[in-house]
A and B are shown apart, each in its own frame.
Chain A
Amino acid sequence: MKELNLTCPVPRPADDVIVLAHGGGGKLTNQLIERVFLPAFGCAPLEARHDGAVLSVSGLRLAFTTDSYVVRPLVFPGGTIGDLAVNGTVNDLAMCGARPLYLSAGFILEEGLPMQMLRGIVESMRAAAERAGVQLVTGDTKVVDKGKGDGVFINSAGIGAVETSLEIGPAAVRAGDAVIVSGDLGAHGVAILSVREGLEFEAPIQSDTAPLWAPVEALLEAGIEVHCLRDLTRGGLASAVNEIATAGHLGIQITESAVPVREPVRGACEILGLDPLYVANEGRFVAFVPERDADRTVDILRGFSVSKDATSIGRAVEAHSGVVTLESRIGGHRVLDMLSGEQLPRIC
């Protein structure tokens, strides 16, 4: 038998052009922030690497955030791009411990977009803003040539009032803190995929898009010493806890069997070969609170329909700083790394 030939491909650089993965919420997104944006714009609020910036203006503490919404399809089970645009920005403010007050909306519309579609999106924004208790106070509209946009892109910025004296962010997390997730994972990502991949459900999976200020407010009013909050969006739970572990210089340990995922979401993930821990959510968050407050936090959260399945899933630890580990169902351990790029369905 002849000697087996060893061959290998030529290296390919990943940083000369923007690729889709740069928007995936995982490693490449963070690399982009670190290598391109921070060097240019670096300042304390940005360095804090939290969902929004908390600023002092004439003695008042305000939270300020921005987000852009580029989802495809524009309408999906459970909502539209409009719902995401309102709830997503509201939630970034809530994650700073701020009462969401005012939003802006900048629309980039593609030539040829049916007016009916735009009206539907705007109506869903109106309803979402009402539900979240915010006002849309300023906006902008641009139209681009047909083929230069995905129908609708929306950028939304938000301002909120920080009424708590707590400094909520990764820097406040301490070893021993409990990690609490506000509900079951993966519904939004699967709802989107169900349209794209033509999946049918016995009971359609709805996106979990929802405003999250009410449960956060309840925690703060109850005097819970909230250390950090983070809403789970692209990149899923895994990306969020990795970002916090890195920014907070701590390790985090998660117990897989404690993480809630509903059966149809699991089924969809199984057949597509996706891991629910990485699938996008739009109405879920994690909270880091002292161990002594963990039970009370879960009780308070369960009193709200948006967080009725809240549960403790792990803890922050001194060890393996910056790394998140997972205890699997069978008791083995692995590193729960951040996604490098898009999570793609697989056959293998």
Chain B
Amino acid sequence: MCLAVPGKVVSVIEEEGLNFRRGKVDFGGVLKEVCLAYTPEASVGDYVLVHVGFSLSVVDEAEAQKIFETLREMEQLEELEGP
């Protein structure tokens, strides 16, 4: 369940109040208007997870990197330890 796709916020419209906060989100070159009411902290340049036209979460870029850093460190350790 729950196809939610990450996209980059490229514009935000706030005039009509928080509940109608919306913006354009870029998914690899496809722009879609998304309701941003549930991510009041999302601003232009942030990545959000979008499900049925609503952003549900702002992607934490630092956390997103961690798995790759951890695995890289593991690999380096192994190389140092030798066969």
Contact residues of A with B, CB < 8 Å? 199-203, 263-264, 266-268, 270-271, 273, 346-348
Contact = CB atoms under 8 A, between A and B. Distances in A.
Given A271-B50, A347-B51, A200 B32 contact: yes
Size range of the chain B interface in the assembly: 10 to 19
B5 A271 contact: yes
Contact of A200 (B3, B5, B30, B51): B30
A348 B28 contact: no
A348 B29 contact: no
Contacts of B64: none
Most buried by A among B1, B26, B30, B32: B30
Contacts of A270: 5, 27-28
Q: Which of the listed residues A202, A270, A271, A346 has the most CB atoms from chain B within 10 Å of its own CB?
A: A271
Interface string B6-48: 0100000000000000001011111110000000000000000
A271 B27 contact: yes
A226 to B, nearest CB: 35
B52 interface: yes
B4 to A, nearest CB: 9
The 10 closest A-B pairs by CB, nearest first: A267-B28, A264-B29, A267-B27, A267-B30, A200-B31, A263-B28, A268-B30, A273-B3, A270-B5, A348-B1
Given A200-B24, A202-B31, A270-B27, 4 more contacts: A199-B31, A200-B32, A202-B29, A264-B30
A266 B30 CA distance: 9
B2 interface: yes
A199 B30 contact: yes
Contacts of A268: 27, 30
Contacts of B29: 201-203, 263-264, 267
B1 A271 contact: no
Nearest to A264: B29
12 contacts: A199-B32, A202-B26, A202-B30, A202-B31, A263-B29, A264-B29, A267-B28, A268-B27, A271-B5, A347-B2, A348-B1, A348-B2
B3 A346 contact: yes
A13 B10 CA distance: 48
Contacts of A263: 28-29
Given A347-B51, A347-B52, A201 B31 contact: yes
Contacts of A273: 3
Contacts of B51: 347
Contacts of B2: 347-348
Nearest to B25: A271
A271 B5 CA distance: 6
A346 B24 CA distance: 21
A200 to B, nearest CB: 4
Contacts of A348: 1-3
Contacts of B28: 263-264, 266-267, 270
A201 B5 CA distance: 16
Given A347-B51, A348-B1, A271 B26 contact: no
Nearest to B6: A270
Contacts of B52: 347
Contacts of B30: 199-202, 264, 267-268, 271
A65 B26 CA distance: 42
A263 B30 CA distance: 9
Contacts of A266: 28
A59 B50 CA distance: 62
